[in-house]
Amino acid sequence: FPTRRSSDLDRRQSRVRAAVHDDLDVLRDEVVASRMSSAEGEGGGGETDKYAGLGIGVAGLLAENLACHPFIVLRRQCQVNVASRRAHTTPLTLLPVFVNLYKWQGVAVLWKGVGSSLMIKGLNLGVEDCLGKVTPWPKEIDRHSSLNSLGQHLLLKCASAAIITPFFSASLVETVQSDIASEKPGVLDMFREGIVRLLSWSDPRCGRMLPVWVLVPPQVVHATSHYIISTIVQGLWLQEIGRAHV
């Protein structure tokens, strides 16, 4: 009898152990499945954030270059008009200017030179990338960057603005020249005119054209100042948005 009782007890213990092992295996499988599902969810969220950021960047680029270009054309048209007698401090005073431009050149005049403006943006990025590779000047900085890195970054911006000054001048001419008095510029005319201005550094071929070395200092000051002010304003705006959503 004792032997039979001990064998029954062993069988019961083995059954209990098997049941416990089965429960542990099921629990482990559930934990692994939950971890895999959470990892897939995080990966999906990262992909969503990536595409959302890309879409926002493209929308911002289009808004900056296409939606704002008509206002740049109006400003430059008023600046180069030698017969101008007043300063346009309100949007309403620009209506006669827009009516005259539409009357003589059509509504497409507001996007005149937009192609060369986009090329200038791409050329600027390319020059900055090349300078960043051949020099120790950083292309990007953040709030934790040192003063030395900040100065080198601004030096990179100044050098890039100085290099593209001839091409920027050619692009500016395309936005203000009249289609009636001159031929419509081609796609690569901006590069050709920029190279001509760059080769004639101190002796321009046209009598009314300023030498490039005269245009470089104001262009560098304007481009660097615009970059500094826009970066500061953008940083403050992002901080305010972050505080509003906290």
pLDDT class of 12 with cuts at 50, 70, 90: low
Taking residues 179-206, what's their average pLDDT?
Answer: 68
Amino acid at 11: R
- Reference 197, options 174, 177, 215, 217; nearest CA is 215
How distant is the alpha carbon of residue 176 from its chain centre?
Answer: 25
Distance between CA atoms of residues 84 and 96, nearest Å: 12
Residue type, 125: L
Model confidence over 58-107: pLDDT tens digits?
Answer: 777 777 777 888 888 888 887 777 666 666 667 777 788 788 888 877 77
Q: What is the pTM of this model?
A: 0.65
Taking only the tens place, the pLDDT of each residue in 127-151 is 999 998 998 888 888 878 888 989 9
* Helices and strands per DSSP (H, E), number in the chain: 8, 0
% of the chain beyond a pLDDT of 70 = 67
Q: How confident is the model at residue 1 (pLDDT cuts 50, 70, 90)?
A: very low
Distance CA 42, CA 113 (A): 44
Query: How far is 174 from 169, CA to CA, in rounded Å?
Result: 9
Statement: residue 38 has pLDDT above 60: no
Q: Sorting pLDDT into bands at 50, 70 and 90, what band is 15?
A: low
DSSP string, 128-187: HHHHHHHSS--S---TT--HHHHHHHHHHHHHHHHHTHHHHHHHHHHHHS-TTTSPPP-S
d(CA 165, CA 159): 10
